[in-house]
Amino acid sequence: MADFTPVSAAIGGALIGFSAVLLLLSTGRIAGVSGIFSGLLNLRSEDKGWRIAFIAGLILAPVIADLIGYGMSPPKLPSSWAVIVVAGLLVGFGSRLGGGCTSGHGICGIGRLSPRSVAATVIFMVTAIITVAITRHVLGG
């Protein structure tokens, strides 16, 4: 547990929860990032303004942080392009089929005490843990 960072995790988590509450109180929308993003991909949907604004804010956050001296380092990703592409496809397809992702089900859905979201969160945690166990400890990634 060398890298456990409970204080920054608690502050960051509280901000994520606050953002979800503020979005619901102001626009009446759920802060599920997969749902917000996929609505932009549908050419026929008309409610694109708030979606673009939310995602713009999400991308601007590290830019502003960089300006005040807290630059974000680029994420460390697997060296295999195939793994990145397959993972992206699974995350995109799975989040649509399952009706949400870590934010929509894990924060907003559970926050609304939805049994569907509790189930989805338990399931994706379990398959993610199994995936990491296999890639790191069985295949020795």
Per-residue mark of binding to other proteins, 99-138 (x: CB under 8 A): xxxxx-xxxxxxxxxxxx--xxx-xxxxxxxxxxx-xxx-
Q: Which of 46, 62, 68, 139 binds other proteins (CB under 8 A)?
A: 62
Can residue 88 be called a binding residue for other proteins (CB under 8 A)? yes
CB of 34 to other proteins, least distance (A): 4
Q: Would you count residue 48 as binding other proteins (CB under 8 A)? A: no
List Cβ neighbours of 100 (8 Å cut-off, separation of 6 or more): 32, 34, 35, 108, 109, 117, 120
User: What is the closest distance, in whole angstroms, from the C-beta atom of residue 109 to other proteins in the complex?
Assistant: 8
Q: Does 13 bind other proteins (CB under 8 A)?
A: yes
* Cβ-Cβ contacts under 8 Å for 123 (sequence gap 6 or more): 98
Of the candidates 4, 55, 3, 18, the residue with the CA atom closest to the CA atom of residue 33 = 55
**Judging by beta carbons within 10 Å of its beta carbon (0-12, 13-18, 19+), is residue 92 exposed, middle or buried?**
middle
Q: Is 15 in the site for other proteins (CB under 8 A)?
A: yes
Binding of other proteins by 46 (CB under 8 A): no
